[in-house]
Homo-oligomer: A and B are copies of this chain.
């Protein structure tokens, strides 16, 4: 069934339990689906845009209120919508990093954080992880000292992931920020995997900038996201335009330079906004989600040879497994080769793990029910047993 020429209707989330690492938290709520169909047209939120003509001042639909609520939800002073977390990184790097400036990232920083540094012509330095795949305050302090010495400059900015995309591990953000602040380094906390899923308190963390992703963790369409900051830094990153038409004398009001003016003028902002009441509730229920993922991991660990590479017990639903000594031993002789596992899962109505993976793979169980958790756990064991792997349950 097509929706437009050559475009197949997407039914993944109607037919399967979807464990895709990046999709789980971006699945729309039904309210967002309704909003998306009502506000699909370009510039659909601009019907009642009046002076001073900026997205975050529109009161119908209630975008102004939504902006204020977002800031307060994150316990930050000011928030803006951005076309994806990456555009939040870009705005902050563009405002703070000058060519040649050293910038700190971590061993688990996302590629888009690196790109924002590259675009600002900064120099990237990683803070290493420890053996448990955690970024530590000591590691950060040592790297700050070293980088400051070798470059002769204090880093202009430090990026840290609250939960990283590789292991789904929780890093000690608040302590890392304390270290950075001792050297007067502003910190951007990347909450792409936390904001909208877990309770995130910017002031408590001490973050100068908090960035979240609408399509990754806030049940919103792509591209969408949020950049929140303190009153202190808002003056820099949300500075309004000062440029002037040299002949016409035109100036451009309160448009913000790093935002490129208005950001999400339609379906994306309304989708985020429609999901927001649900998002506010669901962050309070994250503990249950953590229980469910641990139930799945525990089941996987009963399969001989299986390891969990993420911190364990799990504190987040994004999880990295290593089944080189279990499922991959089957793949070596199976007629479907590495595809046997994802194919067997699919037959059981479970999708979202990279097709063909049997060694190191990730899944994200965010948003499932207790029954679905049991079903997934049982399915993995069933597949393992069917293929003759020893299970210790």
Q: In the complex, what distance in Å separates the CA atom of A26 from the CA atom of B41?
A: 6
* Residue pair B223, A263 in contact (C-beta under 8 Å): yes
C-beta contact mask, A28-59 vs B, less than 8 Å → 1, else 0? 10011111111111111011000000000000
Q: How far in angstroms is the closest Cβ of chain B from A33? A: 6
A29 to B, closest residue via Cβ: B4
* Residue pair B105, A245 in contact (C-beta under 8 Å): yes
A274 to B, closest residue via Cβ: B4
Of B5, B7, B115, which one neighbours A241 at CB under 8 angstroms? B115
Q: Which residues of the partner chain B approach A244 to less than 8 Å between Cβ atoms?
A: 124
Q: In the complex, what distance in Å separates the CA atom of A271 from the CA atom of B116?
A: 27
In the complex, chain A residues 106-121 whose Cβ is within 8 Å of any chain B Cβ: 107, 109, 111-112, 114-119
A228 within 8 A of B: no
* Residue pair B47, A32 in contact (C-beta under 8 Å): no
Q: In the complex, what distance in Å separates the CA atom of A277 from the CA atom of B87?
A: 30
Known: A4-B34, A36-B267, A114-B245. A41 touches B260 (CB 8 A): no
Q: In the complex, what distance in Å separates the CA atom of A277 from the CA atom of B2?
A: 14
Known: A43-B222, A118-B257. A10 touches B38 (CB 8 A): yes
A242 within 8 A of B: yes
Q: Which residues of the partner chain B approach A26 to less than 8 Å between Cβ atoms?
A: 41-43
Query: Residues on A close to B: CB < 8 A?
Result: 3-13, 20, 22-23, 25-28, 31-44, 46-47, 60-62, 65, 83-84, 86-87, 89-90, 94, 105, 107, 109, 111-112, 114-119, 124-126, 128, 213-216, 218-224, 241-248, 252, 255, 257-258, 260-261, 263-268, 270-271, 273-275, 277
